[in-house]
Structure 1
Amino acid sequence: MALHSCRTVGDECLEKWELVGSGGFGRVFKARHKDLRIDVAIKILHDGVSAMILRDEAKFMDLASCEFVVRLIGSYHGCQPGKRPCTQQGIVMEFMEGGSVQSLQKDLGGPPPWPLVLRLAHQVAQGMNFIHREKLMHQDLKPSNVLLNYHLNAKIADFGLTRVSASASKSNMETPGQIGGSYKYMPPEAFKSASYEPVRSFDVYSYGILLWSIVTGKEPYQTANYERVAWKIPAGDRPLCEKFEQKGEAGLDELVSLMNRCWDGSPDKRPTFLQCLDVTEKLLSMHRIRIHDAVGQVLKRRMSPTSGTSNTNRAFNVPLQTAEQFENDTLDHCRITEARKSFTQVCDSTKTMSIKDKAKFVDDNRAKLIQDVSEVMAITDELGDMVHRETLSEIGRKDTISQQKMRVLFGRTLRSGGKKVKAAFYDALKAHHPDLVESLGGYL
């Protein structure tokens, strides 16, 4: 990777390798850089994936280098532990120990304090403004791609779908190609035509949806599959803004107004990121004095031994009730009995279904799952970066039936993704096809 700011990092510089994530392109490791005395993140491609993808990502990270983009440290060339004597290539980046906006939402069980909401909104806009000034588009702006350092400052990551663009009009695209990104963050025009070529207003729309997610602490359209989103978004549907927890906070109305401008159905009416900064800078200045306390509050909650307990129930499909609620319940005896039975099944599954068991379930029932799973896009969306963007594009085609979608998912993702990917598929399957899981002998 002949990049002007990218040096090669070899095995002699690295120690204490630890797998921290896996996606459609490859795996991400945390390692200790012995010479720099810092932790770094190393992205290494899965076997068989073209090294060109990694070279392009490194090139765009290099071009977009600024305070609000994850820093590229170098290229990796060596043999990671457990892979010797196989030589592998990768990219080395700064390690963001604060996780992502997505993991922050999960840890808090909701939105961060209002001053931190505004700082995240402003820092993402700063990063995206720089990226657009460099004639680039990100194309995959979402909570999992906004990473946080220890003090919860935001930096934009994952340039795997980035491309060059010279303007906000289709006719001036320099590098036409396949649409990328996560469908819940894609603009309406991307669903209307197979020949659509993304432009910079694509990122602005994604930013509007991201703002809503940061303010609410939620994923947009949580229960909607690809087909429903592709139908409703071009028709004008957007996330609801009526029930924000921050009612009464100074600046909320202005931020909601910015959201609505960003996700306007007409690309030409969306603001530039420089115009977004006019709003976010003003709002952040109103609450800057409260930032320190807000960050301290969040760090204290994340470090607490009981942090995350508020999220436990959200992972289950069955509502959990207290004994008092059961006593006051007006449901008949049969429904209460069924609720208790379901609760027991959930508890049993958390105790007995290991990753190995879930993977075996998926392998053993391959033919039946291909035949009967209908919510393929919803499940694929939950798998996130575990699914390669080309696989996602093929699965999302409207003229492809569910069985064909499942064959593609099995052939390109589940077969080669390993036990953890299959276990993640099993968990998503429970949420969308509980009856099927139960009929095949799985636990709910």
Structure 2
Amino acid sequence: MLFEDLNLITPIKKALKTEGYVEATPIQEQAIPTILEGKDFLGCAQTGTGKTAAFAIPILQILCGKQKVIKGPKNIKALILAPTRELAIQIGESFEAYSKHTNLTSTVIFGGVSQKHQTDALRDRVDILIATTGRLLDLMQQKYINIHHVEMFVLDEADRMLDMGFLRDVKKIIAQLPKVRQTMLFSATMPPEISKLVDSILIDPVKVAVTPVSSTIELIDQAVYFVDKKDKKPLLIHLLKDKSIVSALVFSRTKHGANKITKDLNNEGIEAQAIHGNKSQSARQLALNNFKSGITRVLVATDIAARGIDVDELSHVFNFDLPNIPETYVHRIGRTGRAGLGGVAISFCDVEEKPFLKDIEKVISKTIPVVEDHPYPASNIIPIVNKDDVKKTPSAKSRSTGYARRNGRSQGGSQERNQNKNQDRNQQNKNFRSSNR
């Protein structure tokens, strides 16, 4: 469906045309008319499906209509909660872009920086507030923010809120909202805790599921390289020497690892910057802006910092370290292949990560093609050639194969992998809380 067919007001249609929006994505096509009707909405949609516009556009149109008839003091009319600073900033940029031909105002607040600039902005008229939970609660306690007049509430990436340990804060905020309001909740997955939250805050919602997390975007060309851990950096440098890789987002499991990868790439003349929780907010935003504008070709990120990265025409995603949570893999590679464009997702897998790869393939219901022909093959595995599966990569044409361990099955079973996953989630929660409140 075209945006022209969605009965949008002229100021918003003008802004969308400037942004180059022509055809609505499935989530936008279903969410915008529903929200415009004043109904609660539940969207199960992962990164890259266009969900920000799906709620931002109808919120702006509804508030524009109310501007003409409502007089009196200006209160916050719409509140959007986001799990990270980066995502909050991205949402704020979208609202600014879509509202440029209206009189509506919006502002973004988040932790990790001085609050003065944010409190100064809050003294002016604010129709729409985009916030992270920690800073919002802090400013509410200081009486800078009153959310008692909010009419429209959006909880974005609710599952990530849960992963980060912010669900208790979310509930504290919801308790301060008016009972009568329109609520929208978006989540890539629907764990039991989020399902309970949905039942408690949404009233007879319209439910839409788009691109479930167990499936990956078909336009993304996926590949895996089996490589010894010590050879991952040489292999990454080798692949990034290919100038046809216009932009690359490289995922590291740790902040220390992200810094080391960035240093090694820069030493080889490959422009790279790191983004993770130990970086200041200004440094993170500078790195992200440089990457978006093309000044920096490679951005090295942890999963914590990468949430909210929305870069059009991102050509490549590299999993330098395979995640041991399969859904994280889906979120990572979803950074490319956006807006109907193709993309390439390349994963490096050492011997210890073989169980992670198996879990990922089980979740996505797909065997990821293996690139056999590269200069750093793993030393302790041998290929089992599948002649029917051929993989082309930016750096080489090679047969795609399955691999078997030379010395038999890997040690450790599902119990050990589950323990690793739980440990990883716990560590993520600690890191998230310290870097995003």
State the TM bucket, normalised to the shorter chain: under 0.3
Higher helix share: 1
Q: Which has the higher strand share?
A: 2
